[in-house]
Structure formats: C-alpha cells, structure tokens
Structure 1
Amino acid sequence: MTAARLTDEDAATYAGWFKALADPMRVRLLHLLAGELRPMTVGEITEHLPIGQSTVSHHLKTLAEVRFVLAERHGTSTRYEVNTACLDCFPAAVRAILGRP
C-alpha cells in the first residue's frame, strides 16, 4: 500500500510544529497545560516552571503561533490552554511524514 503524497504545504506546517517543540521547556510547558486540563495564566504557569514570566510568555507565543495552545483574553489577563485538536492532528501528521496510512 502506498501512502498519499505529502504536499509542500503539509510539509511546511509539520516542520513548524516540530520546530515549536524543539525546545525542551516548550515541551514541558505543553505537558503542564495538558496535565492541568484547564486554562492557566502566565503567572500560574511560571509557578510550575524554573523560568520567568517573560520567558514563559515567549514560549507560549511560539506554541500559539502553531496552534498547540489557545489564548483567551479575560479582561486584562490571558489564559492559555492546550488545543485539543492537536490530539488528533499531531499523530496523523507523524503518520503522514512516515508514510503510514
């Protein structure tokens, strides 16, 4: 069985996803949000990681750009949560890259 051809657009999207996950702290941050199962502020996230708020914000921006996390404004603060669509999309992307149905 031959797998579907990987389009240039899909390859670029998937490369962006892996680039966003190429930093161990972003992986830890995503793991934290996934484990909490609730939106969190930057301050709450900072309490759980050994980095400052500006660094957390930078990592969240990177993860939000590829839609791994979603940001929701609440007045003057923003809460971040895992994009649950990633639970389906990311494994499918890995299968596509590896040529698996």
Structure 2
Amino acid sequence: MSETTKTGQGLSPEDAQTYSGWFRALADPMRVRLLNLLAEERRPLTVGEITGRLPIGQSTVSHHLKLLAEVRFVLPERRGNSVSYEVNDACLECFPAAVSAILGRRP
C-alpha cells in the first residue's frame, strides 16, 4: 500500500490500479472457486489435480491460473515437467485491507 493510502488522502493511482486488477481477476466465478480450492487445500496443486476437482477442462484451468498468477493471487512452481500452483498467502492477506481502503475504512 502506498504512503498516500496510509495518510488518509484517498487511494493513490497506483493502489487503484492494483486493486482494480485484483477485482478483475476475481470477476469470474470459476476463478473464485479455483482460488478457494487452493486456499482450502493449503498445498500446491497441479492443473491435473485441479481439473479432477472442478467441472472445467485443463486449458480453461490453465487460463484462469495464468490470470490469477498475473496479480499474484497464486504462485506457480515448476516441478520437473509440470507446474504446481499454490495460493499466495501474502497477497491474500492484503486483500481485506484493500477492500477497507476502497470503502474508506482505514484501520
């Protein structure tokens, strides 16, 4: 969070840009479910494991993971020939504070 946000002068342009990217990434219900699956599992999952638990195909899961990784909600980790994804706890801890800042509720 930038210094402008912390001083109570509204959201900085940088924070607004970051937060809007987060909300765009969460604008699809399947991405929300995918993020929830990774958060509840608390361990890295491969695309194959994810497709076994959600009603979507491998290419769609990969697309959603790419979008979630771009905003750092998930972290990819290459393991041999496959990639596993896990939730980024640091980024997700910032999300409630971002919502509060957007709504003008500073801690």
> Please, what TM-score do these two structures have when normalized by structure 2?
0.90
- Between Structure 1 and Structure 2, how many residues are aligned? 100
- Which residue does the alignment assign to 1:82? 87
Asked if the contact 1:4/1:99 (under 8 Å) is kept, the reply is no
Equivalent pairs: percent with the same residue? 76
Q: AA paired with 1:46?
A: T
Query: Is residue 5 from structure 1 mapped to residue 10 from structure 2 by the alignment?
Result: yes
Q: Give the counterpart of 1:36 among 36, 41, 44.
A: 41
Distance 1:95 1:4 in 2: 14
Asked if the contact 2:74/2:86 (under 8 Å) is kept, the reply is yes
**Larger RCO: Structure 1 or Structure 2 (Cα < 8 Å, ≥ 6 residues apart)?**
1
CA deviation digits over 1:22-51, x for unaligned, max 9?
Answer: 000000000000111100000000000000
Q: State the 4+ residue runs in structure 1 displaced beyond 6 angstroms.
A: none
Q: CA deviation at 1:86?
A: 2.5
Structure 1: gaps (5+ residues) = none
